[in-house]
Amino acid sequence: MTLQLPLALRLLVTFYTALAASQTPPQTPLVQTEYKVGQAIPVSCLNRTTDSGEHVTDASGQLVYSPFPICNETGRPLELLFGIEREINCTIDFISDPFFHLLEFYVHNDAPLTCRIPTKPLPPSPSKAEFEKGTTDLTEGQGSLSDIYTPMVVALAGTLQLSHLHVSTSLNVLVHAAPRNAAPGTIAAATAYSISRDPPTRIVIGDPLPLRFSVRWYPTTSLPSGWTGVGGHLTFSTLVYCLISAGASAAICLAYFRGVELPRRLKMHGRDRVGGIERGGLGGYGVGIGNGNGYGGYGPGKRD
């Protein structure tokens, strides 16, 4: 009897363990619903035809996007880092003939360089059923659902020549994140545009294209005011400059008065007093001249 009891207990424990496991729902992988600071954000751009610049669609009519060209510096397509402001160098190694014609469309504004970034982290492996329901993209390079991706149109500036292009390769990238109290870790808007920081780069077929992105992030959808106007308003730096200038002017005037003007006035005052004594005595009252009787008097003697 003592040998059969542990065996019965073991069988009972095994039975209840199997029963509990059969009733436990399968664990689904956790899907990250928001970006973390420093998380990589892939950039993909719309495919266009080289003959007309029209966008390319797949068999289902969805716009076709491809990852941004490979950057020599990283060996990967262009990526942004959530919440990280930095300068990104992305040199496209070789400008092929089709890509050169696309650059002509972009520079001449015949067709925009339309790119996009995921609004939130993409699911790791979306299923075909989810894609058919319209809840997600089947692949990262396809689809045009606006609630999953945020557009980032790149305004690439330059000039067209007969045999080459001049491209402004320095670009500003502005990315707005949604307010944290509304949608933390979510991208709200993005744009990029060329700036005239450096002279335009001359590009022919076969050349590399050195792109330089200056990325800035904003924690809300509002832009901070950075313009004070021509002439400007009263700012703290202007006030400090005025106070320093006034203090320096007062110090110079005081030094001049005490070192030059005051000694000069004291010298003139002493000279005037000495001259007065020599001319009229002390305050105009001096020792008189004798009147002929041997007695002196105050003031000059009376003449007959």
Give the pLDDT confidence score for residue 131 in this predicted structure: 43
The region of weakest confidence among 52-61, 158-167, 169-178, 265-274 is: 265-274
Alpha carbon separation from 80 to 41, 189, 213, 246 (Å, rounded): 5, 14, 10, 49
- Of the two residues 285 and 50, the one the predictor is more confident about is 50
Contacts of 77 (CB under 8 A, 6+ apart): 42, 43, 44, 67, 68, 69, 70, 71
Q: State whether residue 107 is helix, strand or coil.
A: helix
Per-domain residue ranges for the chain?
32-218, 234-286
Q: What is the mean pLDDT of the chain?
A: 79
Convert the pLDDT of each residue in 112-147 to its tens digit.
999 999 999 988 755 444 444 444 444 444 455 567
More confident site: 209 or 13: 209
Residue 169: the pLDDT is 95
pLDDT at site 124: 72
What is the full DSSP assignment across 149-167? Answer: EEEEEEE--EEE-SS-EEE
Tally of CA atoms within 13 A in the half-sphere of 217 that contains its CB: 17
User: Rounded CA gap, 38 and 204, in Å?
Assistant: 36
In this prediction, residue 76 has a pLDDT band, given cuts at 50, 70 and 90, of: very high
